[in-house]
């Protein structure tokens, strides 16, 4: 049941369902939209995987790795969110960022997911300034601690 409901009219970016005039069961559409918004508003993912976790908790989200298996097949790079016993898949928009709990850093989407590479400390040079290097190392450590860099 990876795609339980097909919506005829949706928003452009995140495929939130629109309500139609005289539509029956409006609560289904509204509830589905709330689940998607819950997943995509300030998104946090557990990590990246190509296979659905064996015991996911409701509200848990994952980035589907390329070549997904099982229920994740054909959902590469999408955000898979578990809700009420089923997976809901959200296609990321270019420029989207999520916080990855596994890496403790942000992941960015633009033609696939990417993460920032760690910044290395300065090395070499003919004139070594110990205090300047210590200050730079402190800045790098603070950026890493806040998840701004890898």
pLDDT one-digit tens code per residue, 63-94: 999 999 999 999 999 999 998 899 999 999 89
pTM (2 d.p.)? 0.68
Report which secondary-structure segment, H or E, holds 115.
strand 113-115
Lowest mean pLDDT among 2-11, 14-23, 39-48, 53-62: 2-11
Whether 38 and 91 map to the same domain: the answer is yes
Q: What is the pLDDT of residues 34-74, one digit of tens each?
A: 777 777 778 999 999 999 999 999 889 999 999 999 999 99
Domain count of the fold of the chain: 2
Whether 124 and 89 map to the same domain: the answer is no
What's the pLDDT score for residue 2? 45
Domain membership of residue 77 as a residue range:
26-103
Q: Looking at the predicted structure, is the pLDDT value of residue 5 above 70? A: no
The dihedral through the CA atoms of 42, 48, 50, 54 has a sign that is negative
Query: How much is the mean pLDDT over the chain?
Result: 84
pLDDT band at 14 (very low <50, low <70, confident <90, very high): low
SS3 of 25-81: the string is CHHHHHHHHHHHHHHHCCCEECCEECCCCCCCCCCCEEEECCCCCHHHCCCCCCEEE
What's the pLDDT score for residue 1? 38
Q: Looking at the predicted structure, is the pLDDT value of residue 31 above 90? A: no
Q: Looking at the predicted structure, is the pLDDT value of residue 121 above 60? A: yes
Whether 32 and 77 map to the same domain: the answer is yes
Whether 52 and 78 map to the same domain: the answer is yes
């Amino acid at each position: 049941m990876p795609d339980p409901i097909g919506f005829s009219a949706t928003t452009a970016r995140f495929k939130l369902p629109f309500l139609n005039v005289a539509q029956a069961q409006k609560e289904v559409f509204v509830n589905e939209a709330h689940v998607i918004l819950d997943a995509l508003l300030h998104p946090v993912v557990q990590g990246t995987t190509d296979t659905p976790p064996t015991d996911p908790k409701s509200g848990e989200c994952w980035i589907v790795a390329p070549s997904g298996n099982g229920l994740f097949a054909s959902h590469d790079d999408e955000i898979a969110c578990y809700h009420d016993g089923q997976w809901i898949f959200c296609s990321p928009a270019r420029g989207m960022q999520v916080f990855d709990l596994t890496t403790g850093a942000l992941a960015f989407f633009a033609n696939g997911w990417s993460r920032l590479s760690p910044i290395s400390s300065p090395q070499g040079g003919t004139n070594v300034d110990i205090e300047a290097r210590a200050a730079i190392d402190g800045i790098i450590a603070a950026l890493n601690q806040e998840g701004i860099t890898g």
